[in-house]
Chains A and B, each alone.
Chain A
């Protein structure tokens, strides 16, 4: 069974607009963490934002915010004021305490920002 599901293979967004990337997850572990990474064409994995399962508040990091809906097992990433440099592949990932802290990745969403 898929641990992390990203249903949007690709998205286009206009520069300066906001975009929401969907991510749902599946776990029975009460302690887990959710991550979003950006992967530009160079291949490096750039950490964007983290949300812990016990965190009460939604995580925010600059233009990135995570819409964490625990009951729905959803952790959508919102990128505000999109920039051309945001064009990349975005991965949602989960780390479960009971799984030796391994990261499980979703299939990814390719974001293309248009001028």
Chain B
């Protein structure tokens, strides 16, 4: 199946700094990528939809200035957590959809565990 690579798999950063997470589709082009956040033992919550060449669409309650998303190419989307605070500590995971994919599953990255100290 298609491969989505997410980097880094884990990161620890100091409070107040920014962290960038990359999501790459390795063997297919993805016009749309999705970013999710997951707290321990909870479900995945969609944060935003990343569209190649245009602005991301954020879900209600997600601060777009806090979580900057850039989708500069058909194979790369980045999520930057700006001025991170301990409450931003979470598991972040991206997924990508194949172009013209209709009934195919979304392909997920491995996830990034962010810890803000």
Q: What residues of chain A have their CB less than 8 Å away from a CB belonging to chain B? A: 33, 35, 37, 42-45, 47, 50, 52, 89, 91, 95, 100-108, 110
Q: Within the complex, which residue of A45, A100, A108 is in contact with B49, where a contact is CB–CB below 8 Å? A: A100
CA distance A44 to B95 in the complex (A): 11
CA distance A79 to B103 in the complex (A): 22
Q: How many residue pairs bridge A and B at CB < 8 Å? A: 55
Interface flag for B32 (CB, 8 Å) = yes
Residues of A close to B43: CB separation below 8 A = 91, 105-108
Residue from A43, A44, A95, A110 with most neighbouring chain B CB atoms (10 Å):
A43
Contact present for A50 and B105 (CB under 8 Å): yes
Residues of A close to B57: CB separation below 8 A = 100
Q: Within the complex, which residue of A42, A45, A52 is in contact with B108, where a contact is CB–CB below 8 Å? A: A45
Q: Digitize B38-59: 1 where CB-to-A-CB distance is under 8 Å, 0 elsewhere.
A: 0001111110010000000100
Contact present for A50 and B44 (CB under 8 Å): no
Say whether, besides A100-B49, A101-B97, A105-B43, A44 and B108 are in contact (CB < 8 Å). yes
